[in-house]
Amino acid sequence: MTLPYLRAGAGKPLVLVHGYLGGSAQWQDQIDAFSLTHDVIAPGLPGFGQAAHLPGPARIVDFADAVMDCIDALRIGRFTLLGHSMGGMIVQNIAVRHRDRLEGLVLYGTGPLGLMPDRFERIETSMARLEVDGVPATADRISATWFQNGIAASGYAATRDIARLAHPQAAQSALMAMRDWDGRDALAHINMPCRILWGDQDRSYRWPQVHALWNGIPGAELATIPGASHAAHIEKPLLFNSIVRDFLDRP
């Protein structure tokens, strides 16, 4: 499977992996910021965004394999990996299986358990509502939860439009993939430099999930973005990019 991707810049590779109902286009602020010093690659996950024509996997490991196939096709050796939300689950899987390839790992707005405790609604509820409401209405509703100011947020419309591109099969299959994924036992095997980013108003991944990552990954660092929800990289891009830059520039 060949994934479409956005790519810009030169230097050490930085791979950005989006989450559920996301797309590579949501990383434009980060591509602009980091392409001055890095080779930034933002693959589109199968079934979403510009990759909506591809079949959507029902397992996190299959998403991870698709991302690695894209990286390998680009002949990239070692790289830094940043994953958001479901993308954070995907990159945790990659970090455990390809630890020799990773320069560093950024886990953003994510956790080690796909069946997210205290999520704004249960995964099973999202699955049932998706079946009844369809992708556009689901995209509109769920995208609003990613911003502290909901539909009034300046980044909401663009994020919603990307979310609406998801293929119905992929949207349902990805919910099953998250529901069935548990990465808690693997955390101790993530041994590369790792920084965890979290918006303190995130309604998808609450503090217990973030704490489990921080407590479970040896040597992991934690950075909290105040006054931001699940889409902190869009709500507060300057602060988000500064925290990521600090990690990338470490000695």
- Among positive and negative, which fits the CA dihedral 135, 197, 75, 38? positive
- Among positive and negative, which fits the CA dihedral 55, 61, 64, 65? negative
Q: Per residue in 45-84, pLDDT tens?
A: 999 999 999 999 999 999 999 999 999 999 999 999 999 9
Q: 2 falls in which pLDDT band (50, 70, 90)?
A: confident
DSSP for 144-207 reads HHTSTTGGGSTTHHHHHHHHTTS-HHHHHHHHHHHHT-B-GGGGGG--S-EEEEEETT-SSS-H
Q: Cα–Cα–Cα angle for 81, 83, 89, nearest 5°?
A: 115
Kindly state the tokens that stand for 174: 């990805």
C-alpha span between 145 and 9 (Å, rounded): 32
In the chain, where the domains are located: 5-248
C-alpha span between 44 and 68 (Å, rounded): 12
Instruction: Work out the mean pLDDT of the chain and round it to a whole number.
Output: 97
Spelled out in words, what is the top-level CATH class assigned to the domain 5-248? alpha beta
Is the distance from CB of 166 to CB of 143 less than 8 angstroms? no
Q: Per residue in 208-217, pLDDT tens?
A: 999 999 999 9
pLDDT, mean of residues 146-156: 97
Residue 1 has what pLDDT? 64
Note the pTM of the prediction, 2 decimals.
0.97
Residue identified by tokens 């990773």 is: 102
Residue 117 has what pLDDT? 86
pLDDT, mean of residues 84-94: 98
C-alpha span between 202 and 145 (Å, rounded): 8
Q: Per residue in 174-208, pLDDT tens?
A: 999 999 999 999 999 999 999 999 999 999 999 99
Q: 251 falls in which pLDDT band (50, 70, 90)?
A: confident
Residue 202 has what pLDDT? 97
